[in-house]
């Protein structure tokens, strides 16, 4: 059972986010472009940061 602990935001399109939430083996991976900590999934703690 998954329990909601935090509300997080991911800046991607609706269909990719929907697939991530409803599929066990699908991840939305961002590639390193020099501005992040490496390849991975990045989530934001508020909508303003995700929109930025």
pTM over 0.85: no
Give domain status of residue 6, yes or no.
no
What is the tens place of the pLDDT at every residue in 25-42? Answer: 887 777 767 777 777 777
Give domain status of residue 9, yes or no.
no
What pLDDT was estimated at residue 49?
Answer: 80
Give domain status of residue 24, yes or no.
yes
Give domain status of residue 2, yes or no.
no
CB 44 within 8 A of CB 11: yes
What is the tens place of the pLDDT at every residue in 14-26? Answer: 888 788 788 888 8
Name the domain count of the chain. Answer: 1
Give the distance, in angstroms, between the CA of residue 49 and the centroid of all CA atoms in the same chain. 12
Is pLDDT of 1 > 70?
no
CA distances (Å), origin 22, targets 19, 25, 31, 35: 5, 9, 23, 29
Sorted by sequence, the CB contacts under 8 Å of residue 32 that are 6+ apart come out as 38, 39
Question: Cα(39)–Cα(6) distance, rounded to whole angstroms?
Answer: 23
Give domain status of residue 37, yes or no.
yes
Give domain status of residue 1, yes or no.
no
């Amino acid at each position: 059972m998954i329990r909601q602990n935090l509300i997080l935001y991911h800046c991607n399109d609706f269909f990719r986010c929907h697939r991530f939430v409803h599929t066990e083996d699908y991840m939305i991976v961002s590639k390193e472009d020099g501005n992040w900590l490496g390849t991975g999934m990045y989530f934001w703690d508020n909508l303003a940061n995700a929109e930025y």
